[in-house]
A and B are shown apart, each in its own frame.
Chain A
Amino acid sequence: MIRLIFACLALFAAAHAQSGEAVRTGHAESRLIAEKTAAVPGETLWVALAQELEEGWHVYWKNPGDSGLPLVLGWTLPRGFGAGEIGYPLPHRLPLGPLTNFGHEGSPTFLVPITVPADAEPGRTAQFDVFAEWLICLDVCIPEAAQLSLSLPIASSADDVPGNADRIRAARSALPRDLGLDAQFAEKDGSLVLQVNGAPQGEAYFYPNAQGMTEPTPPQDAVRTDEALYLKLTPGIEYQMEPPSEIAGLLVLEADGQEIGVEVSAARTDAIALPAAFGSAQTSSTGAPNIILVFAFALLGGVILNAMPCVFPIVFLKAASVAKLAGADRKTVQTDAFAYIAGVLVTFAAMAGLLLILRGAGAQLGWGFHLQSPIVVGLSALVVFLIGLNLAGLFEIGTSVQGVGSGLASKGGATGSFFTGLLAVLVAAPCIGPFLGVPIGYALTAPAFAAIAVFLALGLGLALPYLALAAVPGLAAALPKPGAWMIRLKQLFSFAMFGTVVWLSWVVSIQTGSQGVLILGAAFVIAAFAAWLFGLAQEKGGAPLLRGGALAALIAAAVPMATLTSAAAPVTSLSITKEAYDETRLAALQAQGTPVFIDFTAAWCVTCQYNKRVVLDTAEIQEAFAETGTVFMVADLTNPDPVITAAIERQGRSGVPLYLYYNGTGEPEILPQILTQERVKATLEQRG
């Protein structure tokens, strides 16, 4: 009867394009919105029921929990049009005394994909009517209903509807993802244990799709091992009456205030080997056969790291210290080399530790993560700038060049070498060499000891040339004799440091905009003044006033760096349209058979910038994109993004660059980390 009344009312309602008229019911305002200005034949049109709920009131998820009812939509669509299933926002737990419901508060957006038939006639108008029924509750519950409608022209192309498109896309990007995770469950002492392998990080809660499968109120104890997430669930009455062979649902993970939903379908198994924290036997070992290979790759990657563009200046620096030692006795050379190696290894071990702590805390990160903060980039630039000034001769650190060869030099030299090793690693971080993706991807998911071993292997690789210097007696002797040329060489190396400064400044400019560059530039000037005062003090010997002034100036240079904050990425003009990474759009394009190229990149990644300048942004390659109709998506990790990090991890990688090509038929092809025009062209054109 209510339906009949609403149907009558609908007859008098005026037709509105793109956004239907908002209908106010007792405690909610509801309207139908569309992402696009028109319905395009053969395509999927995304519409949504957009609700604004009265403060404190909630509506329900598809499994409403202990009580409540989910949204029901009854569509009346033009012939040939079809409405898909409701895409719910991620649910939240709504406790009500001893009961708990699953639902939504605030402004929920319920998505519905509408398939537009290929033979829809352009020029006509498509009218979408829906009778929506929902239960809305504070602690009291009111069933509400509304007849909503929307009419759109049918046209061969459509534009985004301002506002609506953003809301629909935001809702779409929050839809649960199917990561193809392997999951199983078993009964254990009256509870259910759900095991999800490879679950993304974050605080977890499992929402079963079926009501009554698990009890919503008891807490779900969680334990993580390096491979899997274990959740303890309380079986609900439906489960107890008829234990199913499979439990499907939604795993919501919350980290850093961000939530992601992952679809999980767990098959019943007889027993799950529980981690110790659940008071049972230890888990089985991991894929041990791979570890030696991964270790070897890490070692090799470390060696290659020496030749990376951003490590090279540091290698120069190290070479300078080796040059200093030319002709020194073997013991000094050994002490120096070991100090350098110790510096490298300590830094790698510290980073492995940090990575493990952050991984445990649920943070999403990749190699080079520490460079994502503009403050760190700015401070690095300042440090590298000071090293450059040091090399240029403005001031000295520790023992002076004149001291080389004297027995006293060994101590100061060793300390210097230790810090050189430390610096080499910090600056190397953003350069993921072609060999580093695999071992670090492994380290991110491997057990803790294996992760640390891989990091140490990387460090050992980076330090290997110096280890050889210490171990092989003839090598050190073969180094050229010291002389005045060393000072010239050192000064020459300073230009490599200044080059690095330019690059880091450019990264800061992208992260923070022109304001950041101004702060950084001022810092350089003040730091240079500090260095000059310090050098003056060294010349005079003692001079505490000058040293104090130098320290004050250095602090004055560094402190304003703290104000550097990330700004939105600027839009660059290009001949082809680059789209921001959107997984639903990706799925839609794949369904249509449209080829897609995804550029996982970041401003702080030198290899990425090289590939962009030399290959991707060239006219020739842009043309190839246009000709083949390949969609270019950019997944920018300059600022942390959990969705993009998860997408990278899915490919078994941990950092950028990563280039994926979907040929429109299936699995992505992973392109090399160093691109060539020929390779990219061949990939794009292979579809013929």
Chain B
Amino acid sequence: MIASLVGLLALAAPFPGQPAPEFLEPTAAGINVNLDVYKGKTVVLEWTNHGCPFVQKHYGADNMQKLQKRANAEGIVWLQVISSAPGKQGYVSPEEANTLNDERGAVVSHVLLDEDGSMGQAYAAKTTPHMFIIDPEGIVRYNGAIDTIPTADPADIPNAQNYVMTALEQLKAGQDVVTSVSRPYGCSVKYADS
């Protein structure tokens, strides 16, 4: 029964060209945000888990932060999403979430604390990191990995092509995103056991 429900949810995975699922989640700042308030702005969703070696690869090499700063400079909304269930790897309190980002120098608009996994499942987020780009009309424009080399080795970052950066550049130039889907790589999102 649960499996078939999950199956239905998986079917609803938004892919590029489709409207992004609405969400309403508490943030580490103590407010609730939904997608609708960002209408008119480009939104990046980044699924994360600070204990995951693949996330550590991109934060440890300052790769994620660079991307965040660049997006921030262009007025793009960056939402970090933590879908780890309580007790699972990556689950943090609001304070811990803020401390982590301060220590890493991360620049994000908000950290969404999706501890029941509802938002993660609405987006069919599979890994950390798993990236989405939503355009000002609320349409998904990119769904997939952060870059082209699926390893946990920071030494690979310089040789990889960053999908998210490329997609943001193409959107900025008013073009279609060429690679709008890729296989996300990383640790599985630590949802609650079903």
Asked if B13 contacts A237 (CB within 8 A), the reply is: yes
- Choose from A2, A67, A95, A234 the contact partner of B185 (Cβ within 8 Å): A67
Asked if A140 contacts B51 (CB within 8 A), the reply is: yes
Q: Which residue of B lies closest to A4 (CB)?
A: B155
Residues of A within 8 A of B148 (CB): none
Q: Which residues of B, 180-194, contact A by the 8 Å Cβ criterion?
A: 180-181, 183-194
Binds B, one of A215-223, A363-371, A437-445: A215-223
CB distance from A202 to the nearest CB of B (A): 21
Total A-B pairs, Cβ < 8 A: 102
| Bound: A677/B192 CA distance, A | 69
Residues of B within 8 A of A68 (CB): 188
- Choose from A133, A137, A142, A215 the contact partner of B7 (Cβ within 8 Å): A215
- Choose from B4, B85, B152 the contact partner of A143 (Cβ within 8 Å): B152
Residues of A within 8 A of B15 (CB): 237, 240-241
Asked if A97 contacts B117 (CB within 8 A), the reply is: yes
Residues of B within 8 A of A69 (CB): 150-151, 185
The answer to whether the Cβ of A96 comes within 8 Å of any Cβ in the partner chain is yes
The answer to whether the Cβ of B88 comes within 8 Å of any Cβ in the partner chain is yes
Taken residue by residue from 233 to 264, chain A's Cβ proximity to chain B (1 for < 8 Å, 0 otherwise) reads as 01001101100000000000000000000000
- Choose from B10, B89, B183, B185 the contact partner of A98 (Cβ within 8 Å): B10
- Choose from B121, B180, B187 the contact partner of A241 (Cβ within 8 Å): B180
Residues of A within 8 A of B183 (CB): 211-212, 238
Residues of A within 8 A of B151 (CB): 69, 133, 143
CB distance from B48 to the nearest CB of A (A): 14
Question: Interface size (B, Cβ < 8 Å)?
Answer: 42
Asked if B187 contacts A98 (CB within 8 A), the reply is: no
| Bound: A215/B151 CA distance, A | 22
Q: Which residues of A, 139-180, contact B by the 8 Å Cβ criterion?
A: 139-143
Q: Which residue of A lies closest to B150 (CB)?
A: A69
The answer to whether the Cβ of A361 comes within 8 Å of any Cβ in the partner chain is no
Q: Which residue of A lies closest to B51 (CB)?
A: A140
Asked if B187 contacts A218 (CB within 8 A), the reply is: no
The answer to whether the Cβ of A99 comes within 8 Å of any Cβ in the partner chain is yes
Residues of A within 8 A of B117 (CB): 97-98
Question: Interface size (A, Cβ < 8 Å)?
Answer: 33
Asked if B153 contacts A2 (CB within 8 A), the reply is: yes
The answer to whether the Cβ of A568 comes within 8 Å of any Cβ in the partner chain is no
Asked if A142 contacts B53 (CB within 8 A), the reply is: yes
The answer to whether the Cβ of B100 comes within 8 Å of any Cβ in the partner chain is no
The answer to whether the Cβ of B29 comes within 8 Å of any Cβ in the partner chain is no
Taken residue by residue from 110 to 142, chain A's Cβ proximity to chain B (1 for < 8 Å, 0 otherwise) reads as 000000000000000000000001010101111
Listed in ascending order, the chain B residues whose CB lies under 8 Å from chain A are 3-4, 6-7, 9-11, 13, 15-16, 51-54, 85, 88-89, 117, 121, 124, 126-127, 143, 150-153, 155, 180-181, 183-194
Closest 6 CB pairs of A and B: A218-B7, A97-B191, A143-B152, A67-B188, A141-B187, A98-B6
**Beyond known contacts A97-B190, A101-B188, A217-B6: 20 more, CB 8 A cutoff:** A67-B126, A67-B127, A67-B187, A67-B189, A95-B194, A99-B126, A99-B191, A137-B187, A139-B88, A139-B188, A139-B190, A141-B188, A215-B11, A218-B4, A218-B7, A218-B10, A234-B7, A234-B10, A237-B15, A241-B16
21 A-B pairs whose Cβ atoms sit less than 8 Å apart in the complex: A67-B186, A69-B150, A96-B188, A97-B85, A98-B117, A98-B191, A99-B188, A137-B187, A137-B188, A139-B89, A140-B52, A140-B89, A143-B151, A212-B183, A218-B7, A219-B7, A234-B10, A238-B181, A240-B15, A241-B16, A241-B180
